[in-house]
Structures are given as structure tokens and as C-alpha cells.
Amino acid sequence: MKYILSLCLLALPFTGLTQTENPVVEKDSVLLLTPVLIKGYESTRPLLETPVAVGLISARDMERYANTSLLPSINTIPGVRMEERSPGSFRLNIRGSLLRSPFGVRNIKVYWNDMPFTDAGGNTYLNLVDPSTIGSMEVLKGPGGSLYGANTGGIVVLHTDDLPLTNNLRDHQFRVQLNGGSYGNFGEQAQWKYRNNKLSSSFTQSHQQADGYRANSKLRKDVFQWNGNTRIFGNNKLEWLLLYSDIYYQTPGGLTLAQMQQNPKQARQIAIDQKAAIYNKTLFAGTSYTHEFNKQWSNVTSFAFSHTDFRNPFITNYEKRNEDNLSIRSKFIYAIYRNEQDIRLIGGAEWQYGHAGIDNYGNKKGVADTVQSKDRISVRQWFPFAQIEWQLKKKLLVQAGASTNAYQYRYKRLTDADNAKKRKKFDEQFLPRLAILYPFTKHLSTYASVSKGFSPATLAEFRSSDANINTALQPEFGWNYEFGIRGNSSDNRFEYDIAAYYFKLQQAIVRRNNSAGEEYFINSGGTDQKGLELRASYSLIDNPSGCFRLIKIWSGFTLNDYTFTNYITGTDDHSGKSLTGVPERISVTGLDINTAPGIYFHTTFNHT
């Protein structure tokens, strides 16, 4: 068992200066609570009307953990777990998806607003993001291939923290934030925001560093980000995001049980000798345009480009990668509201292209020397998608959607005598989804869904760290069946959300290590994944005008029954055994207290 107790007492979390011209006088100073809208699956509905298991993280949720990492807030969502092997090195697990992710974020699709943030090769550099620039995060659990393409774990949608456009208001906001902690943890952030009736813009600079708990686990991270939106051609909206991130972190390597018991702070000596670390410099630029033709028809089109300069001195080699990625996504939306029926049609397509130059050298104490291999790999994926959403008399809601996914690699090895370009094309996959929701009352609803997901080999699996190109690796795929119930009390003080599911994964992609400690991947058997997720909260006090503004208790519980099927290694049959890396039970409980003087008390208890 592992117990984690975190305690945070915050007073005056940042120093800011706001300049406002032509302010609007409000009739009432009391802020009225409005229901949070879930935007996943193109629905834009309150949680009680959303037929999907979803975890929502707001900016306030992230601020309760000092806003320096996504990990603590993400780990409050039942069924979701983020792990950090050393400062700056994350992997994200949605319902067992990290089986094939020794590091990084794979098998999960991430979008930033309407722009694909996951690259064409299936990898997501989530550690490049500054959490303070995120306004909210939606985690859609379970396969979301009907609208979002290749994934079996789930979808993460990030929303920027843009100020809303307002009439007769011009507003400047400046913020400077400092934070510090144990093990050399230090961070600073400077942010400027501006808005008027047509433009909202935000520029952020941040720096973070840490020495780490273990030897050889230092972190340095610098982020520059400019995002915003503007109205053009009437009420049509143009959004943009420009992100540059420079991150460096050391990797201490794994320890044996005896080494950990002797000194858990130590690193593998060879990791220190070889100066094992990650250097990642990435530029991401994207824009999204929303055009409303009339009250029924609209279109959203996004473009995104990224360039990554990646260096990894490792124990066995020194890898240098240069990656370029381009994505285009466009969707048309047609909405009909008549005869007590709401019908919403969505149709569109997404296309992604990526090119990577991957060079492996020998590693001589952190310096690249002899060439081992040089590969040039391109990946192309695209899928058309469609969905119909039908609601009768504000009651029964049906969502039905599907996509057809094409995926292929082209590759050549410059260091081989035969360096002709070759191609690996995967069979096209049809990914349907059907979801039904019925609200019994204004405070109680239930839903059920069935969906299919698939996930081909990512670039890091197709061409893994052993420098071999694995053309035999096939996509994994599976069906997910789910039932959920959620509700709240009439005064909204008590809320609950329960989901039960069964996911059967086939042709699972699993990790192996060769005799030199280098990883490679194979298809081996599958998994049976049964799960139960529960989240509940109760507000003892919820009074915007009182001394104690809020006293809230909340809790999340996850129960996993995950086993291997037809999983054989050598002469060992692991069928029926528990899935590695997935805890059987996880519970997280928290207490939040907000006061009128601006003093906040937050505590979280995590039991695994």
C-alpha cells in the first residue's frame, strides 16, 4: 500500500495589477453559478446531459496544487492516473493505457481547443505545457475513435485560459507568480492579458527548475506562450496558439529492490556516467477559425504545425531526433431545433503528416560519437468522421457516430546499402460509437454506450530504442461497453457520478527489453478490463458573501479488475494474471476551504 498526504495552505497566491477602462457597472455583485458545459463529442452540454464518462479539471482545481504540475489534479479523476518517473518525465494512464508506455503519453489523443496536439506519430509531449495557461481540461474516458481517430485509452481536450470578450470594456491584467519547495524546486511566471470587445490576448513566460529527489534527476523548463482569439467578419472567431518550450531533465534509471532498500535516492551509476538525460525544444503553432453561415450551419477549421529538436543521451546510445508535424481538421455542424426535437449533425475530416529524422550514435559519457544508424521516417494518417445527435422533448438523447481511419509509414535507413524508401500500410479501421442518455429528473440521469477503438504503433514503437524498424507490429483494437449514472441534490450541494465499463482489447502492444536493456514492442494476446469509477462531493458551506465562502468535501474511487488474455512469453502463460502497472484500488479524498480574506486551505489524501 502506498499513502500520499499533501497539505497546501495558500495566502495571496499571486501579485497582480489590473487596469480597466470604461468599466461596466454590475447590477449585483454576487456571482451566479452557471452549469459547466462539456464540449467533448461536439455536444456542449451540462454534465448531466453528457452521455460519456468524463473528468473535468478547472483552473481552480489546478491552482489548489500551486499550478506547477498537471499530475496532482489529474490524479483526482477516477480511472485516470499520471506518473512521474523523474521531474519533467510523465506518462498518462486512462483505464490501463500505459501498458505500452514506459514513458511519455501514447494511446491517448490530445487536443488543444480544436487543434490536434498529439502528433502524427501518436506521441504527445504533454510535459511541455505550462499548467497555468490551461483554463480547463476535459478527460473523455474510453475509446473515442468515432470523432477523434486512433486511440483506445481516451481523449484529453485542453482549453486555453482566454478572457471572454466583453462589450464596452478594455482590460489589462498583469500577473507575476513565484513558487518554491523542497529538493531545489523553484518556479516563476509572468503573464500579461488584454481584452476588448473584439480581441482577447494572453502572453505567458515561465521558468521551472528542480534538483529532484534522486541523484541525476534535475529539471529545467522554460516556456513562452501566446494565445488568444478575435472576432472577425461579424461574430466569426479566429483563435491562435503559439508555444515554445525548452525542457531538460535527467533520467536516473531503474533500481533493483536491493538498491532501493539500500538508498532510494541513488541513480544507476551508468546513468550518471553516461549523463542520461532528455533535451527537448519544441515550437507549436496552431490556429482555428469558426465561421457561422447562419443559425443552422457553421464550420470549424484548424491548422497546426510543430517542430521538435530532441536529444537523448542514454545508457546504451545517443539518439538525436528532428520531428516536423502538420495537421488539418475541419468539421461542418448543422443544427435543427423544431417540433420538440433537437438534431445536430457533424461531419468532417482530419489529416496529419509527420516526418522524423532519427539518428543513433554511440554514447561516450554524454557525447555522441560513432554513427550506429540513420533513419528517415514519415507517417500519414487521415480519417473522415460523422455524428448525429438527436434529442426528443429535452429528454431522450442519442449520439451515433463513426470514422474510417487510414494509417501508413514510409521509411528508409540511410546507413544501409539498400536505402530505398519502403512503406508499411495498415488496414483501414471503421470505428463506430453509440451512446444513449435519459434524464429521469432535472437532478438524475443515466447513460449507456458502446464504442470501438484502435491504436497503431506509435513512431517510438515502430522504430524503438533498439534502432530496429518493426514492420510486423499490428494495431491493437477493442470494444468498450459502458453504463453510468450521475446526479445532484436540488440545492446542488451534493453531486455524484458513477460509471461501470468492460473493455476487451485484442492484439495488445506490449513492451520487451533485449539483453542490452533496449526496448522493443510486440503484439501479444489481449486484456479483459472491467472497472468501476465513483466520484462524489458535498458542500457543507457554499456562500459567496460569508466569511467562509466554501467548505467542500469530495472523494473519488477507482476499482480495476484487469487481466491478461492469451498472453504468453516463452514458456510462461500469463493469461488470467493481473495487468502490470495498474493498481486494483485507488481512492482520493479532499477538503477545500475558501475564506473571504483570500486564505485557502486544501488537503488531499491518496490511497493506492
Integer CA distances (angstroms), 10 to 134, 268, 454, 487, 604, in order = 20, 37, 44, 31, 14
- Nearby residues of 396 by Cβ (< 8 Å), 6 or more positions away: 436, 437, 438
Please tell me the distance from the alpha carbon of residue 274 to that of residue 431, in angstroms, as a whole number: 45
Residue-level pLDDT at 565: 87
Q: How far apart are CA 90 and CA 313, in angstroms?
A: 18
Query: What cell does 147 get?
Result: 470523432
Cβ atoms of residues 171 and 145 within 8 Å: no
pLDDT attached to residue 489: 93
- Within 8 A by CB and 6+ apart from 416, the residues are none
Asked, for residue 254, whether it belongs to a domain, the answer is yes
Q: How many domains does the chain fold into?
A: 1
- Kindly give the pairing relationship between strand 108-112 and strand 154-160: parallel
Note down the domain range covering 585. Answer: 3-24+36-607
Q: Does any domain span residue 176?
A: yes
Can you tell me the distance from the alpha carbon of 392 to that of 394, in angstroms, rounded to the nearest whole number? 5
pLDDT score recorded for residue 11: 36
DSSP state of 221: E
Strand partners, 241: 227, 286
Q: What is the pLDDT of residue 132?
A: 87
Residue 30 lies in a domain: no
539, 554 Cβ separation under 8 angstroms = no
403: left (phi over 0), alpha (psi -120 to 50) or beta: beta
Q: What is the mean pLDDT of each run of 10 residues along the chain (608 residues)?
A: 42 41 39 67 90 91 81 93 86 80 80 94 92 92 93 92 69 88 92 88 94 93 95 90 96 90 92 95 97 93 97 93 97 89 94 96 93 94 96 91 96 88 92 96 96 91 84 91 95 94 90 76 88 95 86 95 82 80 90 88 90
What nine digits make up the cell of 234?
461579424
**SS3 at position 384:** strand
Predicted pLDDT of residue 6:
42
> Looking at residue 31, what is its pLDDT?
36
Q: Under a CB-based contact definition with an 8 Å cutoff, are residues 241 and 112 in contact?
A: yes
Residues paired with residue 453 on neighbouring β-strands, in sequence order: 478
The overall pTM is greater than 0.85: yes
Cα 181 off chain centre by: 26
pLDDT at residue number 334: 95
CA 17, 20, 25, 28 torsion-angle sign? negative
Taking a C-beta distance cutoff of 8 angstroms, is the pair 413, 373 a contact? yes
Residue 34's pLDDT is 53
Chain-centre distance for alpha carbon 19: 34
CA distance 50 to 140: 11
Distances from the Cα of 217 to the Cα of 21, 134, 214, 518, angstroms:
47, 26, 6, 20
Q: Which residues contact 560 (CB under 8 A, 6 or more apart)?
A: 96, 529, 530, 531, 579, 582, 583, 584, 585, 586
The answer to whether 275 and 268 have CB atoms below 8 angstroms apart is: no
Q: Please report, for residues 12, 195, 208, 510, the alpha-carbon distance to residue 177 in angstroms, rounded to integers and kept in the order given.
A: 10, 21, 12, 42
CA-angle at 525, arms to 519 and 527, nearest 5°: 100
Element housing 115 (H / E): strand 115-116
pLDDT of residue 581: 77
Say how far apart CA 575 and CA 208 lie, in whole Å: 44
CATH code at 580? Answer: 2.40.170.20
Residue 29 maps to a domain: no
CA pair distance 192, 17, nearest whole angstrom: 10
